[in-house]
């Protein structure tokens, strides 16, 4: 995986180095997940695009540090002294579902030990 390609997919300027550490962690996490799930030493060439899509999902759902947007649906609003609550349970369940979203692609390259 290439950092410049992941930046392009996320709409991050290639000259912007402020997110490089987080992006590298995302790529490492995806690479590790693919290698562990498929029982391989390297990410197969045929899974490269899948790896990029997984990295984009991981970044947007787990590592979008500094994002001022609140992820989740509004769960309640109180009008007196205005208060608003958000349901962030979707973000919590995402980490357990990343593999399931790509399992059919990964299964093609999975070897049984």
- Give the integer Cα–Cα distance in Å for 20 and 14: 10
pLDDT digits (tens, 9 = 90+) for 65-110: 555 444 445 455 555 666 555 555 544 444 456 777 898 999 999 9
The answer to whether 47 touches 109, Cβ cutoff 8 Å, is: yes
Q: What is the pLDDT of residue 56?
A: 93
What are the boundaries of each domain within the chain? 3-107
| Paired residues of 84 in beta bridges | 77
Q: How confident is the model at residue 40 (pLDDT cuts 50, 70, 90)?
A: very high
**Pair of tokens at residue 96:** 């357990």
């Amino acid at each position: 995986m290439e950092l410049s390609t992941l930046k392009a997919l996320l709409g991050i300027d290639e000259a912007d180095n402020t997110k490089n550490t987080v992006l590298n962690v995302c790529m490492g996490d995806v690479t590790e997940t693919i290698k562990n799930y498929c029982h391989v030493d390297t990410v197969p060439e045929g899974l490269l695009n899948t790896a990029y899509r997984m990295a984009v999902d991981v970044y947007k759902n787990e590592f979008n540090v500094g994002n001022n947007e609140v992820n989740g649906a509004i769960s309640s609003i109180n009008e007196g002294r205005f208060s608003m609550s958000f349901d962030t349970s979707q973000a919590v369940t995402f980490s357990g579902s990343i593999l399931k979203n790509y399992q059919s692609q990964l299964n093609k390259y999975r070897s049984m030990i």
